[in-house]
Structure 1
Amino acid sequence: MPFSFMNSDGQNRNGPYGICCCNVAQNEAFIVMGVTAILTGILWRSVVVAPLKLVAVFLHEFSHASACWMTCGKVTGIEVNENYGGLTRTVGGSRWITLSAGYTGSVVWGAFFILMTWEKLPTRIASVVFMISCVATILVLKIQQQRLCGMRCALGMSLRFFILVLGAIPAALWVLEEKVDTKGYHPLRYCMLMVGTVCTLHALYDCIHDVFLKKINNSEQGKSDAVMFAEEICGTARCWGLLWSMIALLVTGLALYGVVVLTGKCIS
């Protein structure tokens, strides 16, 4: 099948690679991801994106846990705190694989949510995975700040409530698409594209911030993955952070290319 572009009069213009560019699905995907990236940048430090950032932190920590399990280790605990930090306690397994899996694994999760939006069924599968992630984040969330007991409890309950609301949004959109004629629009798909975009941005920001802008290595915040990797394996934290950042950017680029490939159906 030839590579095809849609020209100004609505006809396909063919090329050599078997992919259609700039159809409706692709335009919608890139518009949603672009607008989401801009709004996320503007609202990054606001409470609006806080629940989704906490879920992204859980996916980061779960990536550590998954790597530990896959290398025959044991996970003794996972924590996510209100400062968008997290901790995964492991025993055994491959330490270098486990430490590497955090930054790179979280961007893979973001790419997963983006790529699964190419058809209705994969989109719904991705939404189920996201809803499970929200529930898991609620269960492992731990408030670490020293506050009065009532304040600490109120903060924890509030964050859990908003994460629960976040997880309910895909379910509500799923029901909406089943019960209402959305006239060619796909709200659940747009929602998962937004989730994938924010998760990917969080992974990139997390890596750059922790390693290059504010290398975490203190008693209050603990050590970043890159610092621990450098201390336990070899090299320097900035060097590993740079490598993981390049891998994250590569995965992001492949996800964008994947959107073009998977949605590249042309009208003959």
Structure 2
Amino acid sequence: MAPSLALPVAAPRSSSPWVAAIKRSAPHAVRLTASAALVRRDLTVNDTQKVTLGVIAAYVVAIALLWNIPKIRVVLWPFKMLVIAFHEFGHALACVLTGGRVKSIELDPHEGGVTHMLGGKSAITLPSGYLGSSLIGALLMFCGFNIVASKVASIVVGVTFILTLWWGRRDWLTILTILLAMGLLIGCWFIAHAEALRYVVLFIGVMSSLYSVWDICDDLILRKVNSSDASVFAKRYGGSSHCWGILWSIVAVIFMVAAIVAAIAAFPQTAEQQRTDSSNFISTKF
């Protein structure tokens, strides 16, 4: 029989006092970490965000009043045309993404617009006007909580304007509306490191977010116009134009609320911090 070999086994080393202390405190540390994570998930609104929320509320009230008061509502006319441009851009983009071709975009002085398209999936292109402008508005509202984000948003909007300008190149009102809007955004870049830009982006966002709500109410409930996107959609795919209009309006409100909640979580910077950040991002000051 082969002799057995007994290998020496090292005795366990005693843990140092600080290692033992860590082991004893580990469960407590895990609990503290979990509690901290829960605290970070809580939505807290600082003073700067409170001001922004107050501005949004003031915009909603002002736009609602100006939208419906005769003669005075002419003040909103340029912004209505801008939001209608977003609406038509939504139709056009959906058409291109579903295999169609956009012939042209036209804006009407009487606050209307039309996108001439060939092909595309009408089940997508029809609701994309209201839903597209609602989504653009929600994204602008989100960016309107922060100056740097507003700068980025204005660049993206500028690209959107260029595309819309290309599709509407034969319509003087479309060209004028877009050029004036681009001029406004560019001008705001040079005021206090673009602080003014934030409030302009926020206003356009609120206007575009609520456009579908007020316009659907205007067309289908108050004036009962039968040539809206909702009525055409109902004729082709069933249901009531009022139901489709209300559904799209609810989606618009959901976009708006989601944008506000996301912005509160994403942009906790104070006004001073925002100005400092903006001065270091494509710095401009007039």
* TM-score band w.r.t. shorter chain: 0.7 to 0.9
Q: Which structure shows the bigger proportion of residues in strand conformation?
A: 1
Secondary structure of 1:47 counterpart: helix
Does 1:174 find its partner at 2:202? no
What CA deviation, in whole Å up to 9, does each residue of 1:132-189 have, x standing for no partner? 556646983998xxxxxxxxxxxx77x97676444322222211234xxx9xxx2221
1:191 maps to which of 200, 214, 219: 200
**Structure 1 letter corresponding to 2:256:** T
SS of the residue corresponding to residue 74 of structure 2 reads coil
The answer to which structure has the higher helix fraction is: 2
- Give the whole-Å Cα distance in 1 for the aligned partners of 2:167 and 2:210: 24
Give the whole-Å Cα distance in 2 for the aligned partners of 1:247 and 1:99.
15
- Listed one character per residue, the Cα deviations across residues 24-76 of structure 1 (whole Å, up to 9, x for unaligned) are 33112212211222222232252211111101001111101111111111112
User: Match of 1:124?
Assistant: 151
Q: Which digits, 9 at most, give the CA deviation of each residue in 1:78-97, with x for residues without a partner? A: 11111111111222221101
2:49 corresponds in structure 1 to 26
CA contact (8 A) 1:212 1:241 kept: no
Bigger drift between 245-254 and 169-178 goes to 169-178
Q: 2:123 corresponds to which letter in structure 1? A: W
Give the secondary structure class of the aligned counterpart of 1:238: helix
2:168 match: 140
Superposition deviation, residue 109 in structure 1: 0.9
Equivalences for residues 48-67 of structure 1 within 5 A:
48-67=75-94
The answer to whether the 8 Å contact 1:68/1:93 transfers is yes
Bigger Cα displacement from structure 2, 251-260 vs 107-116: 251-260
Q: Which amino acid in 2 is paired with 1:64?
A: H
CA contact (8 A) 1:78 1:88 kept: yes
- More RCO (CA 8 Å, sep 6+): 1
SS in 2 for 1:76: strand
1:183-262 paired onto structure 2 within 5 Å: 186-217=195-226, 223-262=227-266
Identical columns (%): 28
Quick one: distance in 2 between partners of 1:188 and 1:112?
15
What is the DSSP-based 3-state SS (H/G/I as helix, E as strand, rest coil) of the residue aligned with 1:260? helix
Q: Give the stretch that moved more between structures: 133-142 or 237-246.
A: 133-142
Give ranges in structure 1 of 5+ residues lacking alignment: 5-13, 144-155, 218-222
Work out the number of aligned pairs and report it: 234
Q: What TM-score, normalized by structure 2, do the two folds share?
A: 0.71
Q: Give the corresponding residue for 1:36.
A: 59
The letter for the 2-side match of 1:75 is V
Paired residues of 2:219 and 2:228 also in contact (CA < 8 A): yes
What 5-or-longer segments of structure 2 have no aligned partner? 1-32, 274-286
**8 Å Cα contact 1:80-1:86 kept in structure 2:** yes
Runs (4 or more) in structure 1 with deviation over 6 Å come to: 1-4
| Coordinate RMSD, CA, aligned | 3.2
Task: Compare 197-206 and 50-59 and name the one that shifted more.
Answer: 197-206
Distance 1:84 1:134, change over 3 A: farther
Give the distance between the partners of 1:211 and 1:40, measured in 2 at CA.
Answer: 19
The letter for the 2-side match of 1:193 is: L
TM-score of the aligned structures, taking structure 1 as reference length: 0.75
CA 206–134 in structure 1, closer or farther in 2 if over 3 Å, else same: same
